[in-house]
Amino acid sequence: MTAPANPLLFGSMWLIATVLVFLLPLLPALRELYSRSDADALEIDPLDNGRTDYAAQRMADQLDLLETMPRVAQWHHDDQGRLMARTQVPVVIGFRSQLRALISSDVVELQANSVVQRVLHAKSIHCLGPAQLARLTSADRHIVLSPGARFLRLSADCIFTWPLKRSLSFPLPELGTGMPLTTLQRRHEGDLHIPAGTIVRGGLVVTGNLLLEEMSVVVGHIKVHGNAILAKSACVQGAIFVQGDLQTKGNNYVEGPMCAGKRLQLGPDSQVGDKACPSSVSAWTIALHASVRVYGSMAAVRSGQVVL
């Protein structure tokens, strides 16, 4: 093998070839740097506090006043011919009516099959039939949901479903004072059944499924890696976070936030939070039964509905 005629030129060529090989994985990034084609990052509103009613507060000054809009133009105010407005008087959204956004300083009533798409805010909101609430729905006082009503995010001092009943408190009057007091280890491997009429003090971490039998009470926070069921009149004075499904059978009271990774069902006469301690309910899908009362907010990733 003969030596190269020009060692300096030969070494330079090998160096250039090596650099090109190392630059090949960076070729897409270099092309993007020279000729940008990717979408820009979404801007983050630094004033957004995460509250459901923030969008309504931001839009309020940008919308036209409904009372001053010509009646002919009220339903042709945006690209898809759906109303976007604010108002200071009570509003009834009629049967099968569709709105884009509505902000009211008074009461808003939604009749059967009416739809609000984006933002809905009012002093109070009443559903009079199976209405579709906006993606962001909030009220200063309360939101009343009728059977069949659908929602995604709700926020109000009190959210409840028909028929209206008294607010619960902790402990429930039915619990009595002679219930046994039990102390369990904080972490429990596998499934855990808490017997009926038992009070458990202290937080719990359950790696399996959890069953709170009738009239049982947990005073503390709960985390469940599987599914959780609260039998009738079972109570939790604290928060409960479930990786799977969370179901309450009825007449249940949960003082703190409720969160489920999959489905969450609140049985009849159940209550989350109270006037002095607002709370939240969140899950992939949420199903509410009759006479459910939630103080605070609710958020469903896919869908939320009031079922019969």
Evaluate whether residue 37 is within a structural domain.
Answer: no
Same domain, residue pair 137 and 236: no
Same domain, residue pair 189 and 157: no
pLDDT tens column, 268-304:
999 999 898 899 999 999 999 999 999 999 999 999 9
Residue 185: pLDDT over 60: no
Looking at per-residue confidence, does 101 or 1 come out higher? 101
Give the model's pLDDT for residue 125: 97
Residue 182: pLDDT over 60: no
Q: Give Cα separations from 280 to 64, 66, 114, 158 (angstroms).
A: 33, 33, 26, 11
Concatenated DSSP letters of 107-152: EEEE-TT-EEEEEEEESEEEE-SS-B--SEEEESSEEEE-TT-EEE
Q: Please state which of the ranges 21-25, 179-183, 189-193 shows the lowest mean pLDDT.
A: 179-183
Evaluate whether residue 177 is within a structural domain.
Answer: yes
Q: Which domain holds residue 125?
A: 54-161
Same domain, residue pair 156 and 74: yes
* pLDDT band at residue 179 using 50, 70 and 90 as cut-offs: very low
Same domain, residue pair 153 and 212: no
Same domain, residue pair 151 and 186: no
Concatenated DSSP letters of 262-281: SEEEE-TT-EESBTTB-EEE
- Mode of pairing for the β-strands spanning 150-161 and 293-306: antiparallel
The mean pLDDT of the chain is 85
Same domain, residue pair 185 and 237: yes
Evaluate whether residue 229 is within a structural domain.
Answer: yes
Same domain, residue pair 58 and 156: yes
d(Cα 121, Cα 134) in Å, to the nearest integer?
9
Same domain, residue pair 156 and 181: no
Evaluate whether residue 100 is within a structural domain.
Answer: yes
Evaluate whether residue 166 is within a structural domain.
Answer: no
Evaluate whether residue 32 is within a structural domain.
Answer: no
pTM of the model: 0.79
Evaluate whether residue 105 is within a structural domain.
Answer: yes
Ramachandran angles phi, psi of 15, nearest 5°: -65, -45
* pLDDT band at residue 114 using 50, 70 and 90 as cut-offs: very high
Same domain, residue pair 63 and 153: yes
Give the chain's domain count: 2
Q: Select from 102, 132, 161 the last residue of a domain.
A: 161
Evaluate whether residue 33 is within a structural domain.
Answer: no
Concatenated DSSP letters of 178-207: -PPEE---SEE-S-EEEPTT-EEES-EEES
Same domain, residue pair 302 and 180: yes
Q: Select from 104, 133, 161 the last residue of a domain.
A: 161
Same domain, residue pair 110 and 177: no
d(Cα 111, Cα 124) in Å, to the nearest integer?
14
Same domain, residue pair 152 and 181: no
Give the model's pLDDT for residue 176: 44
Looking at per-residue confidence, does 6 or 249 come out higher? 249
Q: Select from 161, 193, 220 the last residue of a domain.
A: 161
Ramachandran angles phi, psi of 149, nearest 5°: -65, 140
